[in-house]
Amino acid sequence: MSGSVEQPPQPANALRLHRQLAAIWATGPGVQRLAAVNHSVLGLRMMITSFVFFAIGGVLGMLTRVQLATPNSTFMDAGTYNQVFTMHGSMMLFLFAIPMVESVAVYLTPKILGTRDFAFPRLTAYGYWCYLFGATILTVSLLAGVAPDSGWFMYTPLSSNVFTPGINADVWLLGVTFVEISALSLAMEIVVSVLKMRAPGMSLDRMPIFGWYILVTALMMIVAFPPLILGSILLEVERAFGLPFFDPARGGDPLLWQHLFWLFGHPDVYIIFLPMAAVLSTIIPVFAGRPLVGYRAIVVAIVALAFLSFGIWVHHMFTVGIPHLALAFFSAGSAIVAVPTAVQIFAWLATLSHGRPRWDLPMLYVFGFFFVFVAGGLTGVMLAMVPFDWQAHDTYFVVAHMHYVVAGALAFPMLAALYYWLPLLTGRSTVQRLSTVAFWLVFVGFNMTFFLMHLTGLLGMPRRIYTYTGYESWNWLNLLSSVGSFIMTIGFALVVIDLVVQLRYGRRVRRDPWRATTFEWAMPIPPQPYAFASIPHVGAGTDRTEAGRIALSLARGEGYLGAARNGWQETLGVHMVSGKPDQLIVLPQPTYLPLWTALATAVAVLALLFKLYPVAIVATVVIAGLFVLAAQRSGHARDYGPLPVGRGVSVPPHTEVAEAPPWLALICVLVADGTLFASLLFGTFYLWIAAPNWPGGVSPDPSRLLALGAVAALAVGAVASRLSLRALAAAGGAQGWIVLAMLALAGSIAALVGMMGGVTPDPRTHALGATAVALLCFVVVHAGIGLLFLVSNLLRLAGGRVSPRRLVDFRLTRLWLDYTTVTGVLALALVLALPALVSVLGARA
């Protein structure tokens, strides 16, 4: 069986269904647009926003090329140049690349997986606003001339308050962290959605490969961002409050920053690459006219890449003085990362070889990708070789390599994707000639700019210098690179013109112009806010059925959920592995709440930036309140039991099942948070073993009594929360247990704050004290969030939003408090162990 054409066609109710669903799902006009939570709307906004930052970042890149075109240029002074290149890198990586791939994921994933929206639409909106506001703060700093200027990886001590006393580095630390909140929240949402929200019957082996790529990418984000967020927090604390973590004179170590940064930074390359590979693995089979070859091999390759990419961060640090033996682990690891990449490349080649390739515009960009990415991969293997890196590190060879693998391997598939999916977005086809010219300009310009940089680097030009004198034999190479960059820019400008022309004059296309088999084409184009009028069923042959053929049947409501009910925004949740429907997910309506929460977050960030700490505290309280408020509005006020969802299937609403999206989301949160905690533990041990000037003069003397009290209180809280859950499940009174848990958490916070007050040595004088405070703070913050969970439980209990069947809230609280207790015990154990750790340091060589 294929597609969803099973029932006999009903009288043409497609239009009626469209009107009903559109009324339920549509975002309102005018100012109500700010309340949008729909993935199509937000995905598109995010895409456009990211392209705006791409343009700004591109202009900054052009400025650097103007400056470097000739020796002794007086176009910019060193200070300006440092801001420009720092912002070029930061913008391209944090404000363009990551949001762009996320926007593609947000826009396309639900459609490709055959569902109506993501699991947490309000979180999508919050993520978008955080991104927009954070990015705006960074951009405004550039206009104000106080942009970050320590390079996009912000190495300490250059970025510390001693050597960068102004606001510049704070803008980076706070702005980028703000944007990362957005990336993290979207990543969690993507993971939950891909696992739980697919078309019924879409078991993992039938999931379009796009879903696998996006799932793994989102999982990588969840693990990759926390180390950098931790690093940014610690560095900001060092800058703002003087607690040393990176200052070598006070027991910190600048290399700790590098470890935390690259623990994020290296996987980030693959976080950018994998969604582009997803695009290629989706497009190439369409143009080869056959299903993708080596589906299983590619899944294995994606998993391998995800892990390997985390284990090779030190290859950015080959010259910092780590022993050769340790470098060799990372060198070999960096080399074998090429294997899963090669598996994908040859799977694509095999797909083309076994199909009947037809040539169209997206394939031109696929060619561009192959050319650029293979070249970049080869130089990557070269740089993985330790001795060669000792020469090439931080030269223009690295600049060239990085642009081949990040810029080229992003830009060409991105444009391939753009031309492939534009008919979906706009309902019109491209104007061929202009697009082809644009491609060749971008391609020639790109290679001219960056290929020559390999040689420039081998001739010894370091990156990040704002000028050179002219005798170094770099003149012609730089001039040609600059000319190339202008050609590339003209190419990109043509792409923009092409888009405008297409929007205006493009031929209207019917559905599924490429004869693709993925579900995003099984809908009227451009897509409606509800995406599918009814949700398709996936059978054995669906991956070979042209999507356009089932579109009409879906529009008539012949799939699942082909009718409006209660004004609910309904979609289906499925079993993670088999794809069997197991719950009816009712999504929230458009709301301004995400906007207000993001605005409050922006106020908090700005207050930290301008050192208005009382304002920051108030804003944080407001944010917490808004989150609790958001929780109050979720779910249902009564039990429904199984509801029919079409095709003879009945499932309960998501509020009444165990494996509900919020449950999985909390697991994702804990994975991210656990990574942050592990990074903090790593940081503590790292400073212990590696930092100069350890131990400090005063030895630590933590209070065992307070530590014990704090742990006991946390444990009481966790137990009380369990008992509250049990009481609720038995329809008994849970309030008493919740209040007990709250009192216990408050007690643990008091004990921990007491411990912080007594930390020796003074946290401002030595990293030993500073790390102890950081560990204690971690526990306090988690206990505090636990309190919020409990407050929310009380409110929802009072509002009748929980019941013996609707237990999810209480299960979330229990999990959070268990986690808080476990991490609390570990953190306090480490604090108590610090005196012993310090005493063994006497035995050092």
Partner 1 sequence: MRAAIQTSGAALLAGCSGPFSTLAPGGAAADSIASLWWIMLAGAVVLFALVMGLFGLVVWRPGWGSRVSPARWIVLGGLVLPGIVLLPLIAYALVAGERLLPLPSFGSAVPRVEAEGRQWSWTFRYPGQGGVTTSNVLHLAAGTPVDIDVTSKDVIHAFWVPTLAGKIDAVPGRTNRLRVQADRPGQYEGQCNEFCGLGHATMRFVVLVHRPEDYAAALARAAAAEGAGKK
Partner 2 sequence: MNARGHSVPARRLWWLAAGFTVWCNALVLLYALHAIGCVFAWPAGALRWTLVVVFVAHLVAVGWLWRKAASAERGAAAGDTGNFLQVVIEWTMIAAFAATLVTFGPPLWLTACL
Residues near partner 2 (CB under 8 A): 1, 200-201, 203-205, 296-297, 299-300, 303-304, 306-308, 310-311, 323-326, 328-329, 331-333, 336, 340, 539-540, 575-580, 659, 685, 689-690, 843-845
Among 19, 33, 390, 633, binds partner 1 (CB under 8 A): 390
CA dist 656 and 634 (Å) reads 13
What number of other Cβ atoms are within 10 A of residue 573's Cβ? Answer: 28
Amino acid at 452: L
- Enumerate helices (H) and strands (E) in the chain, giving the number of each: 25, 4
Tokens of 167: 């606001």
Asked whether position 82 contacts partner 1 by CB under 8 A, the answer is yes
Return the number of the residue (566 or 839) whose C-beta is nearest partner 2: 839
Q: Are strands 581-587 and 569-574 parallel, antiparallel or unpaired?
A: antiparallel
Output phi, psi for 115, to 5 deg.
-130, 170
Instruction: Provide, rounded to whole angstroms, the least separation between the CB of residue 331 and partner 2.
Output: 8
Look up residue 191 and give its DSSP letter.
H
Return the number of the residue (359 or 505) whose C-beta is nearest partner 1: 359
Return the number of the residue (326 or 798) whose C-beta is nearest partner 2: 326
User: Where does 459-474 have alpha helices with state H?
Assistant: none
Q: Tell me, residue by residue from 467 to 486, as one string, x for binding to partner 1 by CB under 8 A and - for no binding.
A: xx--xxxxxxx--x------
What number of other Cβ atoms are within 10 A of residue 804's Cβ? Answer: 12
Asked whether position 66 contacts partner 1 by CB under 8 A, the answer is no
- Which among 51-59, 340-348, 519-527, 836-844 is the span making contact with partner 1, rule CB under 8 A? 340-348
Q: Which does 505 bind (CB under 5 to 8 A by kind): partner 1, partner 2, none?
A: none
Asked whether position 625 contacts partner 1 by CB under 8 A, the answer is no
User: Where does 543-636 have alpha helices with state H?
Assistant: 547-555, 593-609, 613-632
Q: Please, what is the Cα angle at 137 between 136 and 141, to 5 degrees?
A: 110
What number of other Cβ atoms are within 10 A of residue 423's Cβ? Answer: 24
Q: Which does 467 bind (CB under 5 to 8 A by kind): partner 1, partner 2, none?
A: partner 1
CA dist 20 and 565 (Å) reads 9
Return the number of the residue (44 or 335) whose C-beta is nearest partner 1: 335
Among 1, 48, 241, 319, binds partner 1 (CB under 8 A): 319
Query: Three-state secondary structure along 356-380?
Result: CCCCCHHHHHHHHHHHHHHHHHHHH
- Which among 216-224, 383-391, 538-546, 658-666 is the span making contact with partner 1, rule CB under 8 A? 383-391
Tokens of 113: 């997986």
Q: First and final CA of the chain: distance in angstroms? A: 71
Among 344, 435, 502, 679, binds partner 1 (CB under 8 A): 344
Cβ atoms of 144 and 134 within 8 Å: the answer is no
Nearest CA among 512, 513, 556 for reference residue 535: 556
Output phi, psi for 176, to 5 deg.
-70, -40
Site residues for partner 1, 667-696, by CB under 8 A, read 691-693
- Which among 33-41, 350-358, 579-587, 812-820 is the span making contact with partner 1, rule CB under 8 A? 350-358
CA dist 551 and 447 (Å) reads 42
Q: Which does 326 bind (CB under 5 to 8 A by kind): partner 2, partner 1, none?
A: partner 2
Instruction: Provide, rounded to whole angstroms, the least separation between the CB of residue 560 and partner 1.
Output: 34
Is 643 in a helix, a strand, or coil? strand
Q: Which does 393 bind (CB under 5 to 8 A by kind): partner 2, partner 1, none?
A: partner 1
Count Cβ neighbours within 10 Å for each residue of 483-511 and write b for 16 or more, e otherwise. Answer: bbbbbbbebbebbeebbebbeeebeebeb
The sign of the dihedral angle between the CA atoms of 255, 260, 263, 269 is: negative
Instruction: Provide, rounded to whole angstroms, the least separation between the CB of residue 355 and partner 1.
Output: 8
Instruction: Provide, rounded to whole angstroms, the least separation between the CB of residue 345 and partner 2.
Output: 16
Q: Which does 382 bind (CB under 5 to 8 A by kind): partner 2, partner 1, none?
A: partner 1
Instruction: Provide, rounded to whole angstroms, the least separation between the CB of residue 323 and partner 1.
Output: 9
Output phi, psi for 561, to 5 deg.
55, 40
Instruction: Provide, rounded to whole angstroms, the least separation between the CB of residue 173 and partner 2.
Output: 27
Q: Which does 201 bind (CB under 5 to 8 A by kind): partner 2, partner 1, none?
A: partner 2
Q: Which does 685 bind (CB under 5 to 8 A by kind): partner 1, partner 2, none?
A: partner 2
Return the number of the residue (144 or 349) whose C-beta is nearest partner 1: 349
Instruction: Provide, rounded to whole angstroms, the least separation between the CB of residue 258 and partner 1.
Output: 9
Nearest CA among 271, 272, 267 for reference residue 314: 267
Amino acid at 19: R
Asked whether position 462 contacts partner 1 by CB under 8 A, the answer is yes
Q: Which does 352 bind (CB under 5 to 8 A by kind): partner 2, partner 1, none?
A: partner 1
Q: Which does 762 bind (CB under 5 to 8 A by kind): partner 2, partner 1, none?
A: none
**Long-range contact set of residues 62-69: C-beta below 8 Å, sequence gap at least 24:** 62/485, 62/486, 62/489, 63/88, 64/88, 65/449, 65/481, 65/482, 65/485, 65/486, 66/482, 67/466, 67/467, 68/467, 68/468, 68/478, 68/481, 68/482, 69/478, 69/479, 69/482, 69/483
Return the number of the residue (731 or 845) whose C-beta is nearest partner 2: 845
Return the number of the residue (356 or 504) whose C-beta is nearest partner 1: 356
Return the number of the residue (329 or 613) whose C-beta is nearest partner 2: 329
Instruction: Provide, rounded to whole angstroms, the least separation between the CB of residue 302 and partner 1.
Output: 13
Q: Which does 692 bind (CB under 5 to 8 A by kind): partner 1, partner 2, none?
A: partner 1
- Which among 222-230, 378-386, 498-506, 554-562 is the span making contact with partner 1, rule CB under 8 A? 378-386
CA dist 299 and 389 (Å) reads 31
Return the number of the residue (6 or 77) whose C-beta is nearest partner 2: 6
Q: Tokens 């407001």 label which residue?
A: 622
Q: Which does 320 bind (CB under 5 to 8 A by kind): partner 1, partner 2, none?
A: partner 1
- Which among 28-36, 323-331, 542-550, 754-762 is the span making contact with partner 1, rule CB under 8 A? 323-331
Cβ atoms of 230 and 679 within 8 Å: the answer is yes
Return the number of the residue (55 or 297) whose C-beta is nearest partner 1: 297
Among 62, 350, 622, 756, binds partner 1 (CB under 8 A): 350
Among 255, 525, 605, 759, binds partner 1 (CB under 8 A): 255
Output phi, psi for 428, to 5 deg.
-130, 155
Asked whether position 12 contacts partner 1 by CB under 8 A, the answer is no
Cβ atoms of 737 and 723 within 8 Å: the answer is yes
Site residues for partner 1, 273-302, by CB under 8 A, read 293-294, 297, 301
Site residues for partner 1, 18-47, by CB under 8 A, read none
User: Where does 70-167 have alpha helices with state H?
Assistant: 78-90, 98-112, 121-143
Asked whether position 196 contacts partner 1 by CB under 8 A, the answer is no
Asked whether position 64 contacts partner 1 by CB under 8 A, the answer is no
Q: Which does 515 bind (CB under 5 to 8 A by kind): partner 1, partner 2, none?
A: none
Among 89, 254, 557, 661, binds partner 1 (CB under 8 A): 254
Site residues for partner 1, 138-157, by CB under 8 A, read 150-151, 155, 157
The 3-state DSSP composition of the chain as helix, strand, coil percent (nearest 5) reads: 70, 5, 30
- Which among 198-206, 375-383, 629-637, 830-838 is the span making contact with partner 1, rule CB under 8 A? 375-383
